[in-house]
């Protein structure tokens, strides 16, 4: 089964959008496996965004992600990776559809309030990067029979 790493970025935390953003995924029906408020190091931010090293915005991206606490989440479910990306919306919030998180809550790529893994492989990689094994919880929500056959 798939898992994905979702993060409320420092602007989302500073703007008081944590509850709003978590609710989008909770309401959809995915399973929350891990959750923490965390101030990440430069090393961790660089490891997380290793694929973007060399882009013109990379130094500002690292500064942004390490500028304050983030809220780290691991979500599980069939098809969770691409579904979460759709719920988040396009990288540039001005291009993101209304109804998506970025489409509703942000205006600038460098302040786009939330991250979601872009592939199942990166989902596993990023959950393992941001969470220790004992910070992840296996559990069965009582409403599971009402979420899927
Ligand atoms: P993440 O979920 O955060 O990985 O965003 P994404 O997958 O939609 O975009 P991508 O991985 O290509 O870029 C990572 C992050 O870098 C984006 O979410 C933005 O915060 C930032 N970023 C990307 N492109 C630009 C840009 O052109 N300008 C600025 N300032 N930031 C950018
Ligand atoms: Mg990305």
C-alpha 101, offset from chain centre: 11
**Protein residue closest via CA to atom 23 of ligand 1:** 109
pLDDT band at 27 (very low <50, low <70, confident <90, very high): very high
ipTM of the complex: 0.96
Do residues 4 and 119 make contact, with C-beta atoms less than 8 angstroms apart?
no
CATH number for the domain harbouring residue 18: 3.30.70.141
Tally of structural domains, the chain: 1
**Protein residue closest via CA to atom 8 of ligand 1:** 91
Q: Concatenate the DSSP letters of all residues of 51-83 into one string.
A: GGTTSTTHHHHHHHHTSS-EEEEEEE-TTHHHH
Residues touching ligand 1 (Cβ under 6 Å) are: 52, 57, 60-61, 91, 109-110, 112, 115-116, 118
In a domain, 47, yes or no: yes
Summary mean pLDDT of the chain: 98
pLDDT (0 to 100) of residue 3: 98
Distance CA 89, CA 87 (A): 6
Do residues 34 and 136 make contact, with C-beta atoms less than 8 angstroms apart?
yes
pLDDT (0 to 100) of residue 35: 98
Provide the whole-model pTM: 0.97
**Active site (annotated) includes residue 115:** yes
In a domain, 46, yes or no: yes
């Amino acid at each position: 089964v798939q898992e994905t790493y979702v993060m409320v970025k420092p602007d989302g935390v500073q703007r008081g959008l944590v509850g709003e953003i978590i609710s989008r995924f909770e309401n959809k029906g995915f399973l929350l496996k891990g959750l923490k408020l965390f101030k990440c190091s430069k090393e961790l931010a660089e490891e997380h965004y290793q694929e973007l090293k060399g882009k013109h915005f990379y130094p500002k991206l690292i500064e942004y992600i390490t500028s304050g606490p983030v809220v780290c989440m691991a979500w599980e479910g069939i098809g969770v990776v691409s579904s979460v990306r759709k719920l988040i919306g396009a990288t540039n919030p001005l291009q993101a559809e209304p109804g998506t998180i970025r489409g509703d809550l942000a205006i600038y790529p460098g302040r786009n309030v939330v991250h979601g893994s872009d592939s199942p492989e990166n989902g596993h990689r990023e959950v393992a990067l941001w969470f220790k094994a004992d910070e992840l919880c296996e559990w069965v929500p009582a409403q599971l029979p009402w979420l899927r056959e």
